Amino acid sequence: MSHHVEDTAKEKDFTKNWVNSSRFLFYLQLFVVLAFVFGGCYRLYNQRYKGKPDIQIQGSTKYTPEYK
d(CA 16, CA 22): 11
Q: What Å distances lie between residue 34 and 21, 27, 31, 50, 57, CA to CA?
A: 20, 10, 5, 27, 44
DSSP state of 68: -
Model pLDDT for residues 22-68, shown as the tens digit of each residue: 888 899 999 999 999 999 999 999 988 777 778 888 888 888 888 87
User: Whole-angstrom distance between the N-terminal and C-terminal Cα of the chain?
Assistant: 114
pLDDT at 32: 98
Which of the pair, 67 or 11, is modelled with greater confidence? Answer: 67
User: Which pLDDT does position 58 carry in this prediction?
Assistant: 87
pLDDT over 70 at 1, yes or no: no
